[in-house]
Amino acid sequence: MRTELRVLDPSVWDDWYGKLVLAFGGVPEAPEESALWRELTECERSIGAWDGADIVGTAGLFSFRLSVPGGAIVPAAGVTMVSVQATHRRRGVLRSMMRRQLDDIRAAGDEPLAVLTASEPDIYGRFGYGAATQNAYAEIDTTRARLTVPEGTDDVRLRTVPPESAVEACEAVYARRVSARPGMLERRAGWERLSLLDPPGDREGASPLRCVLAESGGEVTGYARFAVKPDWDLAGPKGTVILRDLEALDPASYAALWRLLFEIDLTSVIRTGSRPVDDPWQHLVSDIRRCAVRLRDSLYVRLVDVGAALERRTYATPVDAVLEVTDPFCPWNEGRWRLSGDTKGASCERTQDAPDLRLGVRELGAAYLGGVSLTALAGAGRVQETRQGALTEAATAFASPVAPWLPHGF
């Protein structure tokens, strides 16, 4: 059998997306969810693998802008909706789609990075994607962990509003947060609706989505979106607060929103969605052991153009190092690159000078957002130091003062 890759025609989106759903278990989505993904799909950047009249593989790209260390916002291709039908596995379909995507991104020349979230992490390393961020999840026992809030928290006004009516205010807060943390995505038109998806069939006994705004000095300074799932036993109420997302512009607003979640009547647990691994609430609680924090890999980064990507971010301390990069899947990146940079900017050009570090493009992707240490990768044998001191210099320069974080999937 031979498969043919074709750009997605909008007229066959239903069939194409249906094959994606089938590959992920075949459980139908709520109509409002599939309608949103149809609207967000960039058909001109999506492909299908066809075997005769049948779609047997799917893959798409979103045109994102991603925050990187130093606060710059960099164009990045968001790899999405990747699937291969069970009848066509291990026949090179996935590889051909990955090859086509990276070739197309390079040919366009606008995006030095490709990013994705992986349903199966083992798949994408061979295509040069490195795990660059982690998300933290928690189940906080609010009957055992107390909250201590900073000065000024009592001055913050909290107001409950319908989620749909607060979108503009929430998006304004989110937009101001993007450049402050690597890994966050600028929200293009339509993406604000992703946080509002709340199909009744997906609530599993929880309430409809709620929204609370924090206000200080006459402006909105934060928001929390959450639901409440009631529960009772013989000892009384033990409901759960399900936190969807929370952003704030200052410590007082942040603490006021968390205190609200802790004090919701008839509940004893807060279950968070994805949060940064260095989320400050962990320093407000009295007993972190009562919070059951766990981590999971999140955003995978792939440098499509090594030189351009390394030039687009800044570095925490001065660095001047020759990186010898291996990249068998995208051989245009192979070779030696001299990276020179600091907090003001960087240059990265090809060189014939002796290497200071040897590493693969996968390791560069993992370290790119500053959340994975080059020293840790060297400890695993995935980075080799050839000039004494170069590893410490580069690892310190690549680091971010805040943990990178992807706030939502795609």
Is 262 labeled as catalytic in the residue annotation? no
Torsional class of 45: left (φ above 0), alpha (ψ -120 to 50), beta (otherwise): alpha
Query: Do the annotations mark residue 93 as ligand-binding?
Result: yes
Catalytic residue among 62, 127, 398, 410: 410
Is 124 labeled as catalytic in the residue annotation? yes
Query: Do the annotations mark residue 42 as ligand-binding?
Result: no
Catalytic residue among 17, 62, 64, 124: 124
Query: Do the annotations mark residue 83 as ligand-binding?
Result: yes
Query: Do the annotations mark residue 90 as ligand-binding?
Result: yes
> Could you give the count of Cα atoms lying within 13 Å of 395 in the half-sphere of its Cβ?
17
What strands lie across the sheet with 383-385, from one edge to the other?
Answer: 345-350, 335-342, 319-326, 357-360, 383-385
383 class by beta-carbon count within 10 Å (0-12 exposed, 13-18 middle, 19+ buried):
buried
Q: What share of the chain is helix, strand, coil (3-state, %, to 5)?
A: 30, 35, 35
- Residue 71's CB is within 10 A of a number of other CB atoms, namely 13
Cα-based distances in Å from 86 to 5, 57, 215, 263: 17, 10, 51, 48
> Could you give the count of Cα atoms lying within 13 Å of 346 in the half-sphere of its Cβ?
30
Query: Do the annotations mark residue 113 as ligand-binding?
Result: no
Question: In degrees to the nearest 10, what's the CA dihedral of 94, 96, 97, 101?
Answer: 140
Query: Do the annotations mark residue 52 as ligand-binding?
Result: no
Asked if 285 contacts 275 with a C-beta cutoff of 8 angstroms, the reply is no
Query: Do the annotations mark residue 94 as ligand-binding?
Result: yes
Query: Do the annotations mark residue 95 as ligand-binding?
Result: yes
Q: At what angle do helices 31-40 and 13-23 cross, to 10 degrees?
A: 120
- The alpha carbon dihedral of 302, 304, 306, 311 has a sign of negative
Quickly tell me which residue has 């992703």 as its tokens.
194
> Could you give the count of Cα atoms lying within 13 Å of 291 in the half-sphere of its Cβ?
20
Asked if 247 contacts 221 with a C-beta cutoff of 8 angstroms, the reply is no
Which positions are catalytic? 124, 410
The binding site for acetyl-CoA consists of: 82-84, 90-95, 119-120
Q: Which residue ranges make up the annotated binding site?
A: 82-84, 90-95, 119-120
